[in-house]
Amino acid sequence: MLLMPSMRHVAVLLVCWLIGAATARAQVLVTAETGGGDGQAVMAAANLITPKDFGTLANFWAQYSYGLADRLDVFAAYGNISVFGDTQHYVGVGSNVGILRRGRHGLDVSFFNNASVPVTRRHQAATVLVTLALVASHPVTLGSVVVTPYGGFNTLMPIGQRALGVFTPVETLHTGIAGIAIPLNKTWSAYAEYNLGPHLKSGGVGVVWVRPGPSTRP
């Protein structure tokens, strides 16, 4: 049995796609549904990032998130990114803040944010790389499986030193977000996401282990 979202849900998704705010180094790989108070998740992910008129960067990261409150997940991440035979290591922190809940508004909407700093090759990256994203999602039942498509808009903003932006952009970039979360079993899910903008495109996948918090609400 296939349950399709209503036209109102589709319209809201399109609005978020068109007017929203690139992340964890050009991707978000999260839905708009937060994990709930005391919820935990661990993700391993990889993506390829292709800025316009530049080489392709390979990015790998691991992230731990914790449900600080019912509508607030906070996380910490470590990653490394490579291009032209060189690799940079970085760390980051951020959060996913629930704005709307589908139980009341028909759609989950969240504000995702992330700030990362380079650990190595600092002279070839911005002092801080900030990601801001508006994400909207809604579960859809396909047969016996409930998948969660999500979409939105991303802003990737370098702050501070940026003249030698090998591993980070030298200007603020914007992309759209199109992704899907697919459950593998009760605790594991897979994510796939594609981001497209006038000066940047990226595609990535990730797997995540989740322990929902007791206060999770639809």
What is the DSSP secondary-structure string of 67-103? EEETTEEEEEEEEEEEETTEEEEEEEEEEEEEEE-HH
DSSP H helices, the chain, are 7-19, 102-105
pLDDT of residue 216: 52
Q: Which domains does the chain have, with CATH numbers?
A: 7-211 (2.40.160.20)
In which element (H, E) is residue 150 found? strand 145-159
Tokens representing residue 192 in the block = 């796939």
One pLDDT digit (tens) per residue for the chain, 218 residues: 333 344 344 333 333 333 333 345 678 889 999 887 889 999 999 999 999 999 999 999 999 999 999 999 999 999 999 999 999 999 999 999 999 999 899 999 999 999 999 999 999 999 999 999 999 999 999 998 999 999 999 999 999 987 778 999 999 999 999 999 999 999 999 999 999 999 999 999 999 999 877 655 55
In which element (H, E) is residue 55 found? none
Contact 38, 213 (CB under 8 A): yes
Distances (CA, A) of 192 to 66, 133, 150, 207, 208: 22, 17, 10, 9, 11
Contact 191, 29 (CB under 8 A): yes
Q: Which residue has the tokens 């079993």?
A: 185
Rounded CA-CA distance 136/204 in Å is: 18
pLDDT of residue 165: 83
Q: Is 143 left (phi over 0), alpha (psi -120 to 50) or beta?
A: left
pLDDT of residue 6: 42
